[in-house]
Amino acid sequence: MRIVVLTGGIGGARFLTGVRAYARQAGAEVTAVVNVGDDVIMHGLRICPDLDSVMYTLGGGADPERGWGRAGETWTVKEELAAYGAEPTWFGLGDRDVATHLVRTTMLDAGYPLSAVTDALCARWRPGVRLLPATDDRLETHAVVSDPGGGSDGAGTQRAIHFQEWWVRHRGALPTHRFVFVGAEAAKPAAGVLDALAGADAVLLAPSNPVVSIAPILAVPGLREALVGGRAPVIGVSPIIGGAPVRGMADRCLAVLGVPCTAAGVAELYGARSAGGILDAWLVDSADAGVAVPGLTVRAAPLWMTDEAATTEMVRAALALGRPGEERG
Ligand code: FO1
Distance CA 51, CA 49 (A): 6
**Residue 275 falls in which region: left (phi positive, over 0), alpha (psi -120 to 50) or beta:** alpha
Domain boundaries, the chain: 140-182
Q: Is the torsion defined by CA of 29, 57, 18, 286 positive or negative?
A: negative
pLDDT per residue of the chain (329 residues) written in tens, 0 to 9: 999 999 999 999 999 999 999 999 999 999 999 999 999 999 999 999 999 999 999 999 999 889 899 999 999 999 999 999 999 999 999 999 999 999 999 999 999 999 999 999 999 999 999 999 999 999 999 999 998 666 555 457 999 999 999 999 999 999 999 999 999 999 999 999 999 999 999 999 999 999 999 999 999 999 999 999 999 999 999 999 999 998 889 999 999 999 999 999 999 999 999 999 999 999 999 999 999 999 999 999 999 999 999 999 999 999 999 986 665 44
| Cβ(69) – ligand 1 distance below 6 Å | yes
Out of 164, 166, 212, 253, mutate this one to test ligand 1's pocket (max ligand atoms within 8 Å of CB): namely 164
Radius of gyration over alpha carbons of the chain, in Å? Answer: 19
Residue 248's pLDDT is 85
| Cβ(189) – ligand 1 distance below 6 Å | no
Task: Give me the DSSP letters along 60-79.
Answer: T-B-TTTSSSBTT---HHHH
Coil vs helix vs strand at 170: coil
| Cβ(236) – ligand 1 distance below 6 Å | no
pTM of the full predicted structure?
0.96
